Amino acid sequence: MASIHDVAKEAGVSVATVSKVINHYPDVSEKTRKKVKNAIELLRYRPNVIARGLVTGRSWTVGVLINIPFTNPYVAMLLEGIKTALENSGYDLMRLSARLNDPEYSFVNHCQSRNLDGVVVFGVDKDHLSIQELIESGIPTMFVDTDATGLRAGNITTDNRNGAHMSVRHLAQLGHRRIAYLAGTPGHEVNESRLAGYRDGLEASSIPYRKEYIMSGDYSYDSGFQGMKMLLELDEPPTAVICISDMAAFGVIHAIETHGLNVPGDISVVGFDNIYEAELFKPALTTINQNIHTIGVKLIEELISMIKNPDYPPPVVTEPSSLIIRESTAKCREFGE
């Protein structure tokens, strides 16, 4: 079995240079990097992970805690971005489970016992005791869709407020004035940001805010379906609905069609996320694009920067959102016309 010394001899470089290439250090020329990689391939050299960890002081493993069902298309796209970035960096991914409702449980101990170099957290309230403990622990951490920060903790999110604002503006330009918002869980940061953007849009378009047009729920298909049924029972139903997620929007469209109405002929619908299915759905969904894959890549790049450099400032990244206009929105046509 080939050793790192064999690789160094074959490539005509030092053992230290081979180690730098294996560990993805940037201060190696592309020509030298290519020679080392060719030697590794020729000799079929496989680094000893345990020895590598002893030398570098790292496990080369990043943990991810996602407190949202993995069946959610948003999660799948986020993980794909995370996977892409990790494959290019030499790190492995460990899915973490956490007993977040157990007061005796320590998530930090859970991470430390696995010698994780860093952690990604998505879908857990920043005020949760375990998350506060994580922030204070000094473990490099990136949060998704929350403004949690610490000495070694940063976050990445989408411009949720502007995204919702764009949705209202688009519908107002189509002549809609009865615009409802199918919301997420009250108090959650993403929901509150989008709700604020919705209200910004109403104000900018001189449309009165109507409390009865706000339906709280979650991000699911069922939530969208049930919320839309309640909106349709109003004396003056909305002519357009903005949804907290694309999955909720699919449920909204189903409820509208079950009621004997048409999208977008009778009611326009806007989603949020731009998951893969949004373009394939019938009608194709107008939605706010979050660049989910890019978010996954960037959060790992930032996390690894924190891991490699203890002085790297914890990043706070806001990805721009954009409106994708498809078939589910059209000019307003009042009921009965």
pLDDT tens profile 292-333? 999 999 999 999 999 999 999 999 999 999 999 999 999 998
Note the pLDDT tens digit of each residue in 19-30. 777 766 777 888
Low-confidence ranges of the chain (pLDDT < 70): 1, 23-24, 47-58, 334-337
Best CATH choice for the domain 160-290 from the list 3.30.450.40, 3.40.50.2300, 3.90.800.10, 3.60.140.10:
3.40.50.2300
Residue 277's pLDDT is what? 95
* Cα distance between residue 241 and residue 256, in whole Å: 11
- Say if domain 61-158+291-320 classifies as CATH 3.40.50.2300: yes
Q: What is the largest CA-CA distance in the chain?
A: 82
Q: Do β-strands 240-243 and 268-273 pair in parallel, antiparallel, or remain unpaired?
A: parallel
Residue corresponding to tokens 């109405």: 261
- Residue 41 burial (10 A CB sphere; 0-12, 13-18, 19+): exposed
CATH class of 4-55: mainly alpha
**In degrees to the nearest 10, what's the CA dihedral of 199, 316, 99, 186?**
-10
- What rounded mean pLDDT belongs to the chain? 89
> Using CB atoms within 10 A of its CB, is residue 214 exposed (0-12), middle (13-18) or buried (19+)?
middle
Residue 10 has what pLDDT? Answer: 85
Return the bridge partners of 142, or none: 120, 154
User: What is the model's pLDDT at position 336?
Assistant: 40
Task: Evaluate whether 4-55 and 61-158+291-320 have a shared fold.
Answer: no
Q: Do the Cβ atoms of 127 and 148 come closer than 8 Å? A: no
Q: Where are the domains of the chain?
A: 4-55, 61-158+291-320, 160-290
What radius of gyration do the chain's Cα atoms show? 24
Q: 179: closest CA among 196, 191, 167?
A: 167
HSE value, Cβ hemisphere, 13 Å, CA-based, for 155: 19
pLDDT in tens, 232-257: 999 999 999 999 999 999 999 999 99
Helix (H, G, I), strand (E, B), or coil: what is residue 292? helix
